[in-house]
Amino acid sequence: MHNIETINKLLIDELSAVESYQQALDKLRQDVSLSESEHLRPIYQDHKVAVSSLQTLSRSLGGTPTKNSGAWVLGQNLFWKAPVFWVPTPH
């Protein structure tokens, strides 16, 4: 049981990463050229593979993989959708 709990904690982190990278990619596609956003795509894909692997491992141990990253999603949604009021300038 302890292993399944640990796997699900890791899965939550990976789901958070997938969601964060997806939001970043979406935002970059809107704000800059598509080619610049594509630098993040391999990292995003790696996290998706990790999610799939952890889900499979959890099931093989008799667990039920978690389906979402919980409260982290709310924070990320607020961050990516919030307006920018201050942008630092380089010195």
Choice between 81 and 24, residue whose per-residue pLDDT is larger = 24
Residues 6 or more apart whose Cβ sits within 8 Å of residue 66: 8, 11, 12, 15
State the pLDDT at residue 85: 43
Least Cα distance to 15 among 58, 55, 51 occurs for: 51
Domain coordinates of the chain in residue numbers?
Answer: 2-81
Q: Is the pLDDT of residue 60 over 70?
A: yes
Read off the pLDDT band of 6 (50, 70, 90): very high
Answer for the pair 44, 23: CB distance below 8 angstroms, yes or no: no
State the pLDDT at residue 8: 93
